[in-house]
């Protein structure tokens, strides 16, 4: 007897392909869907063809759905706007929020599916303490992707499946793919932003927006001019390389003065902070934080979660570290954990 109908997002990569195998083995009726988001990168015709070949080999239906308009509106436009405002965006988080767990979920309901699923490394499990399903870290250690999933709508947790959550290593996934003779078993992982496949985001911004090179000064906090830059969008908090300046100690980007078109640099110790604020909050285990909470805080995908406190004030959360942390970067997300459970998160202001 079927456990229900699942709409599985398939990128043509090995993770989502193995997710299809696992869901089928677990007794779900699986439908594969590839979202056409952008011409090029992981969303191109080759990726769609790979996903279709996998679905054909597994004898499950496959559809390609054109979400390019929504992707432009919610992901690319946000990417451009954030860099215009000297912030460093995370487009994967926006894509998960609006496309994979937004538009795809709406499509799943129209197709009478009970669940949606992806090949993300994360878990959703019922937790007695919270009396609900919760989003948790996977067993995959550094490959865990719970950070980029904190924006999942709370009311969707009952309807999302992450079949790869129990695996510890990518080699286990490739082994399953090879055992099942999947055509994508040895396909390399995609490391770049899907719409910037060559990794040159500056070139992308210049070609796809009105952002253009504009010379200004690189300065210390006291206004001392050390050199020139050719555009604020080419720099991010914590950056050291590529500034073309000489000084008695290593210098890093610590901020911006948009009114004067200045990049502000300082010593590494000036990168450390003990507190910051987030907005665009999404809480997964409660409706509101009513008293200070001890949590572990992750301020970027590659960062280690560190202890601190959070407290909600209206539509913002104040975050305080137990120990100062390096390069808290506006535009990135801060995600809060208790043990392995994602409490929620927000956008760093």
Return the residue matching tokens 């965006």: 89
| Contact status, residue 198 vs residue 192, Cβ threshold 8 Å | yes
Residue by residue, what is the 3-state secondary structure of the chain?
Answer: CCCCEEEEECCCCHHHHHHHHHHHHCCCEEEEEEEECCCCHHHCHHHHHHHHHHHHHHCCCEEEEECHHHHHHHHHHHHHHHHHCCCCCCHHHHHHHHHHHHHHHHHHHHCCCCEEECCCCEEEEEECCCCEEEEEECCCHHHCCHHHHCCCCHHHHHHEECCCCCCCCHHHHHHHHHHCCCCCCCCCCCCCCCCCCCCCHHHHHHHHCCCCCCCEEEECCCCCEEEEECCHHHCCCCCCCCCCCCCCCCCEEEEEEHHHCEEEEECHHHHEEEEEEEEEEEECCCCCCCCCEEEEEECCCCCCCEEEEEEEECCEEEEEEEEEEECCCECEEEEEEECCEEEEEEEEC
Overall pTM surpassing 0.75 (yes/no): yes
Q: Which residue from 186, 139, 149, 157 is spatially nearest to 17, judged by alpha carbons? A: 186
Active-site positions read 95, 194
pLDDT tens digits along 148-171? 999 999 999 999 999 999 999 999
pLDDT tens digits along 280-315? 999 999 999 999 999 999 999 999 999 999 999 999
Name every residue whose Cβ is closer than 8 Å to that of residue 111 and which is 6 or more positions away in sequence: 5, 7, 31
Is the pLDDT at 46 greater than 90, yes or no?
no
pLDDT tens digits along 176-231? 999 999 989 989 887 778 899 888 999 999 999 999 999 999 999 999 999 999 99
pLDDT band at 44 (very low <50, low <70, confident <90, very high): low
Q: Which domains does the chain have, with CATH numbers?
A: 5-119+163-179 (3.40.50.620), 213-266 (2.30.30.280), 272-348 (2.40.30.10)
Is the pLDDT at 5 greater than 90, yes or no?
yes
For residue 110, report the phi and psi dihedrals to the nearest 5 degrees. Answer: -65, -25
Q: What is the pLDDT of residue 217?
A: 98
- What is the distance between the alpha carbons of residues 86 and 278, in angstroms, rounded to a whole number? 16
């Amino acid at each position: 007897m079927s456990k229900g109908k699942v709409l599985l997002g398939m990128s043509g990569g090995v993770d989502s392909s193995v997710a299809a195998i696992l869901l089928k083995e677990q007794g779900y009726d699986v439908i594969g869907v590839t979202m056409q988001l952008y011409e090029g990168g992981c969303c191109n015709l080759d990726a769609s063809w790979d996903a279709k070949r996998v679905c054909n080999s597994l004898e499950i239906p496959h559809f390609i759905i054109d979400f390019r308009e929504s992707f432009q509106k919610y992901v690319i436009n946000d990417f451009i706007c954030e860099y215009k405002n000297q912030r460093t965006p995370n487009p994967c988080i926006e894509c998960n929020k609006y496309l994979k767990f937004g538009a795809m979920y709406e499509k799943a309901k129209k197709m009478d599916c009970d669940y949606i699923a992806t090949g993300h490394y994360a878990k959703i499990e019922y937790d007695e303490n919270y009396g609900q399903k919760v989003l948790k870290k996977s067993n995959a250690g550094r490959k865990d992707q719970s950070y980029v999933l904190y924006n999942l709508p709370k009311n969707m947790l009952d309807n999302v499946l992450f079949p790869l959550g129990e695996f510890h290593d990518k080699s286990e996934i490739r082994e399953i793919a090879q055992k099942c003779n999947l055509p994508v078993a040895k396909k390399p992982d995609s490391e770049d932003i899907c719409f910037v496949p060559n990794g040159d985001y500056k070139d992308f911004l210049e070609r796809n927006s009105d952002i253009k090179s504009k010379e200004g000064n690189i300065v210390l906090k006291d206004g001392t001019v050390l050199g020139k830059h050719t555009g604020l969008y080419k720099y991010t908090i914590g950056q050291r390389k590529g500034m073309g300046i000489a000084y008695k100690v290593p210098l890093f980007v610590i901020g911006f003065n948009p009114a004067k078109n200045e990049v502000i640099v300082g010593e590494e110790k000036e990168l450390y902070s003990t507190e910051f604020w987030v907005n665009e909050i999404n809480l997964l285990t409660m409706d509101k934080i009513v008293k200070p909470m001890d949590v572990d805080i992750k301020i970027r995908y590659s960062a280690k979660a560190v202890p601190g406190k959070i407290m909600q004030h209206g539509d913002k959360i104040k975050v305080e570290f137990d120990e100062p942390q390096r390069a808290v970067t506006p535009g990135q997300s801060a995600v809060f954990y208790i043990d392995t459970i994602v409490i929620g998160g927000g956008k760093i202001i």
